[in-house]
Amino acid sequence: MNGEGGPLDERLGRLRAAVDAAASIGLEAEGARTRTVARRVARRAGFGGAVYVMALAGGTGVGKSSVLNALAGEEVSPAKSVRPTTDAPVAWVPADKRDELDALLDWLKVGSIVTHEGRELDDVAILDLPDIDSVRVEHRATVDALLPRIDAVTWVVDPEKYDDHREHAYWRSLVPHADRLRFVLNKADRLTDADVKVVADDLRARLIASGIPRPEVHVVSAVRGTGIDGLREALADAGHAKVIIATKLETDRAAAAERLGRSVGLDADEGYRPLLAPEDRERRTREAIDGALELVDLDGLARQVRGAVMHRARIGGGSFLGRLIALGSSFTGRRGRRADPAAYLRAWRSRGAMGRVLNPLRAAMVEAAGGLPASSRGRVLTALGALSAEADVARVIDRAVAGAGELEIPRSPLWPVIGALQVVVGAVLLFAVAWMVVLFVAGGGVPVATVSAPLLGPIPMPLALLTASVLISALLGWILGLHAGWIGRRLAAGVGARVEEAIREGVVRDAFGGLDRVEEARRVIAAAADLG
Amino acid sequence: MQNRGGVERERESGRPGPADALGRLADALKRRAASAPGPDREAKAESLRRHVQDYLQPRAADLDAPLLVVILGSTGSGKSSLINALAGRALSPSGVLRPTTRKPVAIGDRDDLGGRMGSLAQRTGLDMRTGEGARRGLVLVDAPDFDSVELENRDKAMELLEVADLAIFVTTATRYADQVPWHVLGRARTRGVPLLAVVNRLPEDAEDADAVLADYRALLERGKLVDSGAAGSLAVVAVPEGALDVERDALAADAIKPIRDALDRLVASHDDRRALARRGLAAALKGIPEAVEAIAGQVDEEQRSVAELRASADRAYGAARQALDDEIKRGTFMRAEVLRQWQEFIGAGQIARFLAEGIGKLVATVRSLIEPAPVAPATEVREAAFADLTALAVQHADTAAQRTATAWSGDRYGALALAADEALWRASPELAERLTTDLEDWARGIGDRIRTLGARRKGWAQAASLGVNVVGTSAVLAVFVHTGGLTGAEVGITAATAVVNQKLLEAIFGEANVVAFVNGARDDLRQLLDQAFADERARWSEKLGATGDPKLATELRRLAHEVAAMVPA
Ligand SMILES: Nc1nc2c(ncn2[C@@H]2O[C@H](COP(=O)(O)OP(=O)(O)OP(=O)(O)O)[C@@H](O)[C@H]2O)c(=O)[nH]1
Ligand SMILES: Nc1nc2c(ncn2[C@@H]2O[C@H](COP(=O)(O)OP(=O)(O)OP(=O)(O)O)[C@@H](O)[C@H]2O)c(=O)[nH]1
Ligand SMILES: [Mg+2]
Ligand SMILES: [Mg+2]
């Protein structure tokens, strides 16, 4: 049983993995249906392949039992004129295979078994089934439950029922098994030879229209025995039981996988394709990043960084007055508002609507879910994270912001030097002021110039000192500001770049986490459905 | 005035008489068909409406109108062969290809083919024949089948069943226990239509034939159809295999003699015809409550689902609207970048001068002399503010839509409604544009109020120099941006902008006026958003339409009982 996708066991293993994958994205019910098929296939494979099971199916009164009896040449299953006749499946099996078929027939819940010694049909067990269309609805239930376990089907019709809606509906469900499906047009004796041909052609045309490309139709009359030998020969030449069983099981497996694939929007003709086209994903990601950067506000962050550096510089190297103001701003909260970059980053939530990030992401999710059948859309959308997107996005930005690194505000060795100089200058300034006060008091209110004081050129010494210290203090302040501004700008640029990078990475990696999980599951399902 | 007759009083009070009950029932069924979820339920209501409108109404109006006799049965059961036998000529071709008859064929007297036959012909493609084989007072119809792969045939057959005065039900020895014909017979029973029964193609073996007939009779008994016979208890006419009249493309005349005799008796006696019509009508009227109940019961069941669907939509949209309000109250949904732009403008020259007092005013005046007056970013900032609010509103409308859609997709009717409109999975595509327009209108309203308020204030001349646009944007921001009592880095720029705005507005309008003004604008905004969300929510209600309308179920049941109480004249 080695097909192109490896031995059946392996392919069933992939199918089971696909079931788990489906369940992981909310499609438990679809998965359960698939699991049922996987179990059934494994079970049937376990019974061995010496004999295959062929069932006679059809509406009541078309002559299923009569056809079996004609094949057998004896009454295997009673055929009567009251409808419906057959209540439970009857098996007609080669006598020498009776024992090895025991477990299989038990699984098929066939209680009534008739054996035969014929050599011709020695690798097939033929079942006569109850009808599918009578008022005894339990008959149909029996067939519905049994047919999926059957290896090949011979569908019996008669000139009255060959175009019934009931039959056609059933045939459509058997289309994947068309290779192991055969049709018998019974009661040919009720038509003229010309009409037999007309009806048989019409039946063939109808079957082709129903999706069975090359229908095999046997025209027989069970009561007259015409056409029965041809049917028997066709059954005997059907091929090896092993092959029939293997292709049947492979068809079941493939159909189940394909069906599961359809529930996640996989098309057998197209192969695997992501729900969201890469260029759409890229575009939406870009929009989300832009939105996130707007919330984080890199411009504002840079201002905060520069403010913080300036504050620290003022504390370390400001003039007396400058330090006083800087200290004061810590108390009034002004520093908190203007110069606390870490707090500013953390508070990104208060700088705009989350919708700026969320709306493009959710638009992408709905676009992605648009590729799914309506029945699974809601559940997969939940798996995509549409409903939890708000919290997820917040987490992504929080993490990016936290990961942007420590916001250590640097100190420069230059600042204490400037600070020390400012102290000296301050002292000189105080001295000059004091000197002038003394002179003024000693002079009894006479203008300074008239009192003797050392002159520096034409200017009295205290005045010169005062002017110089004020100028130097201002110059030092200017240098400090220039230096701190330079450091601040450099730091701000670095921090800004780091935050931006972290946001970009975070959004690219995490914002579509749900979609990535769904795609992962779809890839597992695609592998089970042999879609590269 | 006091002495008016009863009938007149009834007319005066606007209450229609009992005969109108049929018309109102037909109308209620029409409404039901229009609002039923899914084609099956729609067809069920529509088919009963046809019965009321095309059978009950005309028959109640005139018991003497010709009787419609419809031959019903599976494909290949021999309906066409039977009508040919009854007409005595090849009227409707029989054939070996299934199904053969696609258009019903009627035969009747020329005078009898008017009236309701016309509309029936239009809908079912009825081929009306007259001449040889026509029977006065009877219109005989060969219906298409109801069980072949051609589903249109079934629709036509079922429609004919709904309007028949007498049905001849044909089956075969192979078919008689099929499930589909028994569904049809089940409807024939609740409909109360008088029946004749034929079993065709009985086995030659007499014992086998008797066994089949006995079995069929037992099934008819179990199906409570024995009392539906056109004349006394339902007799089964047996036609053996091969009883054919090849020349006329018909069943053998002697085999179907009991049927021909029954029809000829009706032709002969006006009283018999009238009695049959009355009997059929009475039974049909009695059958209405059961038929209506089958529909009203569905409405009840839908109603339970629909109530839950509505509730889940209400919950989702209520929560989303609340969340939106909370965020607006928090006042932090605007981008810092925009606020900074506004603050920088206000901090500069002109406006600062306007706001400041004492020394500050002097400084600002000097600055305004040196620096050129900045261009007011009023329009950009307002538009950006609206874009921010719109993004926020869309975000919450999206959340509500996805919550509702997820809840609905798990429900049968919800899934049906969702499947009809893919766009329901998101906020409506027009929402953003609509909000932008609404917000512009709202801003215009603010502008108007600023002008009226300003006309009464002496500071207005100054304000006017700033431009209504600037003051307007300031007012918009006063509604959008506030700190909700928070301080610190979180609300840095927000707080600053809020404060400056407040100052500007107070300087123009006075403190008391500003509070009232901003509150008024906020109320208008709330209303605007309420309306937008109500419209978003309404998309869902539209999808449900009148599905599960409890009033409709009550009305249907009431009318059914009124109809059942009618007694044919
Ligand atoms: N004329 C004719 N009659 C047939 C032929 N085959 C079967 N019959 C008759 O058709 C009737 C039904 O035959 P069965 O074999 O019991 O039909 P079945 O399909 O098994 O019916 P259920 O068991 O009810 O599902 C019997 O009366 C048969 O005699 C045939 O080839 N020609
Ligand atoms: N051999 C035989 N053929 C019969 C007998 N009764 C009917 N038929 C054939 O059965 C076929 C179907 O008969 P119709 O009268 O066309 O059946 P119908 O009910 O009108 O079928 P639709 O038009 O398809 O709904 C025809 O070919 C008839 O000749 C019979 O007793 N013996
Ligand atoms: Mg049978
Ligand atoms: Mg016909």
Output the CA angle A71-A76-A81, nearest 5 degrees: 95
Q: Print the SS3 string covering B164-177.
A: CCEEEEEEECCCCC
Confirm whether B2 is domain-assigned.
Answer: no
Structural domain count, chain A: 2
Question: For residues A268 and A247, which has the higher predicted lDDT (pLDDT)?
Answer: A247
- Closest atom of ligand 1 to A224 CA is 31
**A191 interfaces chain B, CB cutoff of 8 Å:** yes
Q: B249 C-alpha vs ligand 2 centroid, how far in Å? A: 9
Distance CA(B406)–CA(B418), nearest Å, equals 10
- Nearest Cα of chain B lies from the Cα of A456 at a distance, in angstroms, of 37
**B487 interfaces chain A, CB cutoff of 8 Å:** yes
Distances from the Cα of A374 to the Cαs of A336, A523, B12, B410, B425, in angstroms? 52, 20, 54, 11, 11
CB atoms within 10 A of CB A95: 12
Confirm whether B547 is domain-assigned.
Answer: yes
Query: Domain boundary at A196, A227, A249, which?
Result: A249
pLDDT at A525 over 50: yes
Distance CA(B308)–CA(B310), nearest Å, equals 5
Residue B2 in 3-state DSSP? coil
Ligand nearest to the CA of B208: 1
Residue nearest atom 26 of ligand 2, based on CA coordinates: B95
CA closest to A299 among chain B residues? B337
Partner B, chain A 370-409, Cβ-Cβ below 8 Å: 370, 374-375, 377-379, 381-382, 386-387, 390
CA dihedral A452, A456, A462, A463 (to 10 degrees): 110
Confirm whether A480 is domain-assigned.
Answer: yes
Residue A3 in 3-state DSSP? strand
Same domain, B472 and B523: yes
Q: Which residues in chain A are contacts of B388 at CB distance < 8 A?
A: 352-353, 356
Does residue A131 line the site of ligand 1, with CB under 6 A?
yes
Contact (CB, 8 A) for A530 and A5: yes
Bond from prior residue into B99 cis (ω within 30 degrees of 0): yes
Residue A356 to residue B172, Cβ atoms within 8 A: no
Question: Has the ipTM of the complex gone over 0.95?
Answer: no
Confirm whether B44 is domain-assigned.
Answer: no
Same domain, A205 and A296: no
CA closest to B391 among chain A residues? A355
Confirm whether B53 is domain-assigned.
Answer: no
pLDDT at A449 over 70: no
Maximal CA-CA distance, chain B = 126
Residue A198 to residue B97, Cβ atoms within 8 A: yes
Give the pLDDT of residue B3: 40
For residue B135, what are the domain limits? 69-268
Same domain, A216 and A356: no
Sequence-ordered list of residues with C-beta below 8 angstroms from that of A84, at least 6 positions apart, any chain: A60, A61, A130, A131, A134, A136, A139, B177
Same domain, B203 and B134: yes
Strands (E), B164-222: 166-172, 195-202
pLDDT at A311 over 50: yes
Same domain, B354 and B243: no
Partner B, chain A 106-145, Cβ-Cβ below 8 Å: 133-137
Q: What is the mean pLDDT of residues A372-400?
A: 86
Residue B147 to residue A206, Cβ atoms within 8 A: no
* A253 band by pLDDT with thresholds 50, 70 and 90: very high
Residue B488 to residue A333, Cβ atoms within 8 A: yes
Distance CA(A229)–CA(A236), nearest Å, equals 10
Closest CA to B560 of B190, B138, B36: B190
Closest CA to B334 of B488, B503, B480: B480
Same domain, B263 and B311: no
Structural domain count, chain B: 2
Partner B, chain A 195-214, Cβ-Cβ below 8 Å: 195, 198-199, 202, 206
Q: B315 C-alpha vs ligand 3 centroid, how far in Å? A: 57
Contact (CB, 8 A) for B220 and B60: no
Query: Domain boundary at A249, A270, A297, which?
Result: A249
Question: What is the block-wise mean pLDDT of chain B (569 residues), using blocks of 10 residues?
Answer: 35 51 96 90 95 94 94 98 96 95 95 87 91 94 96 95 96 97 96 96 96 97 93 92 95 96 95 95 95 95 91 96 91 86 73 63 66 76 93 94 91 85 89 96 89 71 70 87 60 73 79 85 95 95 81 95 87
**Mutation for B interface: A25, A65, A66, A83, most B CBs within 10 A:** A83
Same domain, B257 and B312: no
Distance CA(A265)–CA(A371), nearest Å, equals 6
Ligand nearest to the CA of B94: 2
CB atoms within 10 A of CB B119: 15
User: Which of A60, A158, A356 has the CB atom closest to B177's CB atom?
Assistant: A60
Q: What is the CATH number of the domain that holds A104?
A: 3.40.50.300
pLDDT 10s digits, A104-117: 999 999 999 999 99
Ligand nearest to the CA of A131: 1
Same domain, B231 and B315: no
Does residue A80 line the site of ligand 1, with CB under 6 A?
yes
Residue nearest atom 2 of ligand 1, based on CA coordinates: A187
Same domain, A231 and A303: no
Confirm whether A259 is domain-assigned.
Answer: no
Q: Which residues in chain B are contacts of A199 at CB distance < 8 A?
A: 96-97
Same domain, A304 and A219: no
Confirm whether A31 is domain-assigned.
Answer: no
* A182 band by pLDDT with thresholds 50, 70 and 90: very high
Partner A, chain B 42-101, Cβ-Cβ below 8 Å: 74-77, 96-99
Same domain, A87 and A224: yes
Residue B151 to residue A165, Cβ atoms within 8 A: yes
Query: Domain boundary at B214, B247, B268, which?
Result: B268
Confirm whether A208 is domain-assigned.
Answer: yes
CB pairs under 8 A between A and B: 207
Ligand nearest to the CA of A69: 1
Confirm whether A112 is domain-assigned.
Answer: yes
Same domain, A182 and A326: no
Contact (CB, 8 A) for B133 and B107: yes
**B392 interfaces chain A, CB cutoff of 8 Å:** yes
Q: Which residues in chain B are contacts of A160 at CB distance < 8 A?
A: 74-77, 98, 172, 174-175
- Closest atom of ligand 2 to B101 CA is 23
Q: What is the mean pLDDT of residues A206-228?
A: 95
CA closest to A376 among chain B residues? B409
For residue A491, what are the domain limits? 285-515
Same domain, A212 and A303: no
Q: What is the CATH number of the domain that holds B114?
A: 3.40.50.300
Same domain, A368 and A508: yes
Confirm whether B466 is domain-assigned.
Answer: yes
Q: A187 C-alpha vs ligand 4 centroid, how far in Å? A: 20
Residue A198 to residue B182, Cβ atoms within 8 A: no
Q: Which residues in chain A are contacts of B334 at CB distance < 8 A?
A: 351-352
Residue B174 to residue A162, Cβ atoms within 8 A: no
Distance CA(B452)–CA(A90), nearest Å, equals 96
- Closest atom of ligand 2 to B145 CA is 25
Query: Domain boundary at B244, B268, B292, which?
Result: B268
Confirm whether A39 is domain-assigned.
Answer: no
* A342 band by pLDDT with thresholds 50, 70 and 90: confident
Confirm whether A482 is domain-assigned.
Answer: yes
Same domain, A121 and A223: yes
Sequence-ordered list of residues with C-beta below 8 angstroms from that of A501, at least 6 positions apart, any chain: none
- To 10 degrees, what angle do helices A355-369 and A513-528 make? 10
Pocket test for ligand 2, best of B71, B72, B81, B247 (most atoms within 8 A of CB): B81
Confirm whether B407 is domain-assigned.
Answer: yes
Same domain, B260 and B311: no
pLDDT at A440 over 90: no
Same domain, A182 and A291: no
Distance CA(B370)–CA(B393), nearest Å, equals 43
User: Which of A134, A336, A344 has the CB atom closest to B178's CB atom?
Assistant: A134
Q: B77 C-alpha vs ligand 2 centroid, how far in Å? A: 6
Does residue B332 line the site of ligand 2, with CB under 6 A?
no
Same domain, A309 and A237: no
CA closest to A165 among chain B residues? B149
Confirm whether A280 is domain-assigned.
Answer: no
Distances from the Cα of B112 to the Cαs of A418, B156, B217, B270, in angstroms? 120, 21, 34, 14
- For the entire predicted model, the pTM comes to 0.84
Residue A159 to residue B96, Cβ atoms within 8 A: yes
Distances from the Cα of A494 to the Cαs of A289, B151, B153, B364, B566, in angstroms? 19, 74, 79, 36, 91
Same domain, A370 and A485: yes
Query: Domain boundary at B268, B289, B317, which?
Result: B268
Same domain, B153 and B99: yes
Confirm whether B371 is domain-assigned.
Answer: yes
User: Which of B211, B495, B496 has the CB atom closest to A81's CB atom?
Assistant: B211
**A522 interfaces chain B, CB cutoff of 8 Å:** no
Same domain, B500 and B375: yes
